[in-house]
Structure 1
């Protein structure tokens, strides 16, 4: 594998890992605090920030390498960011009653 392939793998893993980590953060904090909207917005903001930093890092990495890799990486990053945010919000929204009732705070 070349350096570009390894960078792309780390890029995609980081994007997926940030969405997964934000899902765990949102579910844990909903159970602990009992607030839904605040924790959903915080988890979404963290995921958005990490995604933007990853896209910026990819932009800086691939700027001097290849224009095609720049465009492909930015497209993949934007797609993963949108998919990650959507999955985050949908999963947190669908599981909110279950997570909030575990602590007795119930909605």
Structure 2
């Protein structure tokens, strides 16, 4: 179970990286493209799976539930904004907000 958990952690990090790459590709005229929207959504789903595995498994340490709650709120806001404003024409100012939420979420994961 520990190996699966670590593989999913890397997939989760990869989803955040894909979302940020999707933003960088349209930086000159910001919009929410498929890479950004689906990367954030996949990272959100994988985050839930990771918390479930960590909570159920004896091999992986139990998660910090306060940290998980804050990260879930931030990620849910990012997913909602990404998918809710995806059809707006460029330049879409919400792309900057989604990326800011991604960076806040990564900062919480790293520094907390």
Scaled to the shorter chain, the TM-score interval is: 0.3 to 0.5
TM-score (norm 1): 0.42
More helix by share: 1
Larger radius of gyration: 1
TM-score (norm 2): 0.40
Work out which structure has the larger RCO, using CA pairs closer than 8 Å and 6 or more positions apart in sequence.
Answer: 1
